[in-house]
Each structure stands twice: as structure tokens, then as C-alpha cells.
Structure 1
Amino acid sequence: MSTLKSVPEYGASLFRIVVGFLIACHGASTLFGFPVSGHTSSPLAWPGGVAAALQFGFGVLVLLGLGTRTSAVMVSGTMAYAYFSVHQEKALLPMQNGGEPAALFSWAFLMIAIVGPGPLAVDALRAKARVRVTAAGEPAAAV
């Protein structure tokens, strides 16, 4: 039974990786027309282009598990803004206003920010390296 204790941690990592990948693809398709071709937007165009740049950049960081909590909060806020500024005007419920993806992404990234990156993350590797250096008697600032 002791081996099953790590399953939720790895599940959190896999969830973070998949959701980070999905939002990065969403931003990339708006910015570059890849992986889905269509209308592209400049990263300086407000609000769509800026949102796409944030989705792509922070999505990649969440995918890698680098600065995970901060990046996840940024994407969560971006998606909450999208829901309330674009979708909420059309109707009250997400089923009516087409805002289901924005609402789901917002809550998913908030959950990632709360739970953390899990063991399969650059943040976790950096923390392990910091602990090894500290355990070896060297100052932690040397990392």
C-alpha cells in the first residue's frame, strides 16, 4: 500500500502537464495559427492577442512546471477575465453564453496553483537540488 501514496502526486503532475499543454496550444493557435490554422492575432492586440500571449507563455511554464503556482494564477485570472468580460454579457450560465471552456480553464489553473506542480516538474527538480546542496553542508544560495 505504501507505493500507492505517490499516485495522487503523479496524478497532479499529469493533470498540470495536460492542462498546460492545452492552454499553450490555445494561445499558439491564436498567435501563430498552429496547431489549428485560422484567424491569428498580434500579441499586442487588446484583449485577444494579449490573452493569447499570456496563455501561450504561462501555459508552457505550467506544462514544464517552472514557476508553476504563479503561472497558474496568471492563466486562471486571464480565463476568469475572459469569462466575465466576454461571455457573461451574453447570458448568465456558461451553457448559455459559450463560456464553459473559459470557466473550466480558470478553475483548473486555480486548482493547479493550490495543489502545486507535483513531482514531475522543473520546480521539483530545483527543490531537490537545493536540498542536496544544503545537506552537503554548502550554503543553499550556491545553487
Structure 2
Amino acid sequence: MSLSFPERWTSVILGLNRMVFGLLFACHGAATLFGVLGGPHGGHSPELFAWPSWWAAAIQLVGGALVLVGLGTRPAALLCSGSMAYAYFVVHQPEGLWPLQNGGEPSAMYCWAFLAVAAVGPGAFSLDGLLAGRGGQRQDDPLSATMGRRRTTPVATRD
């Protein structure tokens, strides 16, 4: 059965989106914790283990890095999504009803983006896929087909 163009590229697009979300999120955490890439937002880095600022930045850095490389993708993305939901409802929403009023658009967007990654999985180019013996790609990925690696037999799983 031949797949249409969008169906063939779905896993690749999902994987690329996952990597972009993870990279940007990790950069935000690094900026907050270490004063790099434009420095911490608000002028100073949070004190070690300070709630919630240090923990939020740690989740951004570590969770974003895990999502970027696609390792433990679903739980990491779910944690990232939850942290952004917390940020939106605790920090931004009291300032106004709508994200345009309260400055919470980035929190809302990250929340929904990571929730989507948690729901649909890592897509192509993930360590999760590589460790599962799929080489980080699904069987119907266009890159697998064009590189002559399309599988004709099911992938065996280890017990």
C-alpha cells in the first residue's frame, strides 16, 4: 500500500518539531540557571533549589534536553507540559484572563506543544526509537525508504 506524501513524512515532521521544542525549552532553562544565551529573565539567576523558579528552570533544561534527544520522551514531555500549565495558571492567569493580556502565550504554547509530543510520541530521530531497535524511525518513514532500509518483517522485541 502506497502512502500519500503527508503520511510518509509524518514521523519526520513530528521528530523535527520535538527537537525544536526541546532545544528552545532547554535554552530557556540554561539562560535562567547559568546566565547564558541572553541571561536569566528577570535579571538574576534563582537561588539553588528555590521554589518554583529554580525547579522550573531545571525542568526546562533537563526536560527540554530529554525531549530534544528523544529519550524518555513521553514522560519528559508530560512533565514539561505540566510545568508550563503551572506557570500559566499560577504566574500569568492572575494578571488577566487571556494570554495576550497576561503575557502567558509562551507558557500556553509550550504546554500544548509538549502535551502533543507526550500524546503522539517522539517521531523520527529519537533515542527511544533507536533503543527499541527501530533506528529512531518508523517503518513508513520516507528516509528509511529512500535509504533502502524499509523493513519487510516485523521488528522483534526483547523480553
Structures share fold, TM-score greater than 0.5: yes
Partner residue in 2 for 1:89: 94
The amino acid of 2:23's aligned partner reads F
So what's the TM-score if we normalise by structure 2? 0.79
Structure 2 gaps, min length 5: 136-154
2:23 to 21, 24, 29: 21
How far apart in 2 are the matches of 1:44 and 1:127? 35
Percent sequence identity over matched residues? 48
How far apart in 2 are the matches of 1:6 and 1:63? 22
Q: CA deviation at 1:6?
A: 2.7
The amino acid of 2:36's aligned partner reads F
Which structure has the highest helix share of the two?
1
Partner residue in 2 for 1:59: 64
The amino acid of 1:140's aligned partner reads R
Partner residue in 1 for 2:145: none
So what's the TM-score if we normalise by structure 1? 0.87
Q: Helix, strand or coil for the counterpart of 1:140? A: coil
1:100 to 100, 105, 118: 105
The amino acid of 1:44's aligned partner reads F
How far apart in 2 are the matches of 1:87 and 1:22? 20
1:8 to 7, 10, 35: 10
- The runs of at least 4 aligned residues of structure 1 exceeding 6 Å deviation read none
Partner residue in 2 for 1:118: 123
User: What are the equivalent positions in structure 2 for 1:39-50 lying under 5 Å apart?
Assistant: 39-50=44-55
CA gap of 1:127–1:94, structure 2 versus 1, over 3 A, is same
CA gap of 1:71–1:34, structure 2 versus 1, over 3 A, is same
Q: CA RMSD in A?
A: 2.1
Q: Helix, strand or coil for the counterpart of 1:89? A: helix
Q: Number of residue pairs matched?
A: 136
The CA deviation string for residues 115-135 of structure 1, in whole angstroms up to 9 with x for no partner, is 1001210001011169xxx84
